[in-house]
Structure 1
Amino acid sequence: ASNIRLICNKCNKPTAVRREKIKEGKRVRVCKKCGEIIDKV
């Protein structure tokens, strides 16, 4: 685990991220607080 937190563009707060698969089968990083897609990995 990492101590680094990303800043979410939507909620503008430091957040942990989770990974989800989107419809195209690609994995993306998602804000745990608001659910916004942060970027495509």
Structure 2
Amino acid sequence: FPLKAVKVMHTVALRTESSLPVSITPPTQFSAHKVRFLEF
């Protein structure tokens, strides 16, 4: 698992969480996206 990919994914996640209100972002969909990313 490349460390660079982890850093990029983490940065994108932080930007998404900071730019969108928590109430609008569905936790289940976000969690599923993380799990799907880990399957690669």
TM-score normalised to structure 1 length = 0.18
Higher relative contact order (CA 8 A, sep 6+): 1
Larger fraction in strand: 1
Larger Rg: 2
If each structure's helix is expressed as a fraction of its own residues, which one has the higher value?
A: 2
